[in-house]
């Protein structure tokens, strides 16, 4: 459950930020691409690490948190030892993501969708 909980914490933070722009998404890939774009344009202050962790990679040589979540959810193992060892790090990452997400979501700043997404 730990990798899955970490992933969904980060993903729901991302969806909350998209809602600040008036956008809903049902695509993990599109959610990450949008966040990366508005981050690169300086429209939000959100760590790249959080975006990278929800990014679906085309190159399957590169293992992401998406893959870890799927392995934890659908894999044959009932216990993933590595997840237990990474627990404190995962909690810290989630807390930082939530703090940054709250700063964006509760901001009085108006967020406009970049033209290339219209």
What confidence tens digit (pLDDT) does each residue in 102-117 have?
A: 999 999 999 999 888 8
Number of domains present in the structure of the chain = 1
> Residue 37 is part of a domain; what is its CATH number?
1.20.120
User: Residue 108 falls within a domain, yes or no?
Assistant: yes
The residue segments making up the domain with residue 19 are 2-112
Q: Cα dihedral sign for 57, 58, 61, 66?
A: positive
Task: Name the nearest CA neighbour of 56 among 14, 110, 105.
Answer: 14
Classify residue 118: in a domain, yes or no.
no
> pLDDT class for 11, splitting at 50, 70, 90?
very high
> Which of 16 and 66 is assigned the larger pLDDT?
16
Whether residue 68 lies inside any domain: the answer is: yes
Q: What's residue 104's pLDDT?
A: 97
pTM: 0.83
Which residue, chain included where needed, has tokens 């962790």? 53
CA–CA dist 101, 90 (Å, integer): 16
Which pLDDT belongs to residue 22?
95
The pLDDT value given to residue 82: 67
**pLDDT at residue 49, rounded to an integer:** 94
Q: How many CB atoms lie within 10 A of CB 2?
A: 17
Residue range 43-98, pLDDT digits in tens: 999 999 999 989 877 666 666 666 666 666 666 555 556 667 778 888 999 999 99
What per-residue confidence (pLDDT) applies to 89?
A: 87
CA 37 to each of CA 1, 2, 12, 58, 59: distance values in angstroms, whole numbers, following the listed order: 30, 29, 18, 18, 20
């Amino acid at each position: 459950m730990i990798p899955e909980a970490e992933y969904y914490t980060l993903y729901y933070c991302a969806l909350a930020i998209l809602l600040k722009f008036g956008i809903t998404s049902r695509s993990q890939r599109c959610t990450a691409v949008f966040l990366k774009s508005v981050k690169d344009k300086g429209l939000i202050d959100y760590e790249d690490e959080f975006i990278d962790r929800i990014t679906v990679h085309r190159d399957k040589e590169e293992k992401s948190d998406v893959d870890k979540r799927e392995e934890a959810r659908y894999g044959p193992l009932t216990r993933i030892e590595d997840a237990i060892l990474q627990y404190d790090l995962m909690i810290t990452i989630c807390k930082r993501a939530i703090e940054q997400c709250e700063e964006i979501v509760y901001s009085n700043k108006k967020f406009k969708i970049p033209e290339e997404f219209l």
